[in-house]
Structure 1
Amino acid sequence: MKKKGIKQLQVLVEISCASSPHHLMAVRQVYGSLFECSLEEDIASTVSLPLRKLLVGLVSSYRYDRQLVDSGIANSEASKLHEVIKMKELDHNHVVSILSTRNIFQLRATFECYKQNYGTSIDQDIKSCGNGDLESLLTMVICCIETPEKHFAQVIKDSVIGLGTDEDSLNRAIVSRAEIDMTRIREEF
């Protein structure tokens, strides 16, 4: 949080979207113990709008982790997301609310409805809105929810390609996913 760059904000997205609800709660508790303020307070005081609204929503949510999916809700929310993206209002409350409160399985169903109903994936439509930090974080949210193994394979690839190794990113990806989906990440890589 002290560096406040987009790369550090992406780590928050990884933790909030690719972790279990119990892990995210544990991270928030440890953060509060270590830094004597909540993660949400630190985000609110250091990150500017509209990124603040998205990140506070993501880190403060508790997603139900059962495989419950309501296709009616998925279709309705795909429509809401399409309208907001079409108007290029990516910081709209609907976006934050849907992405921060729905369980992973419901969101995956919503993303699939979006693609079926509108012919393109939601992340492609978000990318077409521009290439700012909000668009970058939103596409990362979608990727971490939809296919976390693809996201972490890309993190590993980016950390070892080029001059030197980004050891922080490499270690974070390997250690945080070792017991979750490292074999799928390896296959994706």
Structure 2
Amino acid sequence: MTHGIRTETQITRMSGRRDWRDTATHYALLPLRIFLGVTFIYAGLDKLTDSAFMKAAGAGSIGETMRSARGSAAVPALIDMALKSPVGFGYAIAFGELAVGIATLLGLLGRLAALGGALISLSLWLTVSWATTPYYYGNDLAYLMAWLPLILAGAPYLSVDAAWRAHRRQRAGGFH
């Protein structure tokens, strides 16, 4: 508010009235949060239940996937580091995806979960999908970009974070 002039949004907030646009804006990130949460849970479970994936060598293994991507990776040193223990790296990625997915769905430490998702997506883009041409055929860059709004906004609604925030406000005895 400047110089006593109130915008329509400020009047709406003060009166408690909301139209469908206000509601849609309020919950705009929820579909993205659900999609990314479910997708990362699925990706983690898929890796953990694929008998071929969690092996150092062989068709469909994490080791073979990394070795085949090494020559075209933007940062081959990341692959070299992972190849020191491909199965351990596979488990780390799978459990990381599960943790990120569950936390994102629950809205638990939403910004931190989104940062974790972005880092996983970034590492996969710089290694496995870097050589995909044209770039828009690869999905890891799109996932990286999808995490950015959640890093910025967190999980402000329908989340554990929102419940904690409301509880802190209530304990403080007012509005903050």
Task: Give yes or no for TM over 0.5.
Answer: no
Larger radius of gyration: 2
Q: TM-score range by the shorter chain?
A: under 0.3
Question: TM-score if structure 2 supplies the norm length?
Answer: 0.26
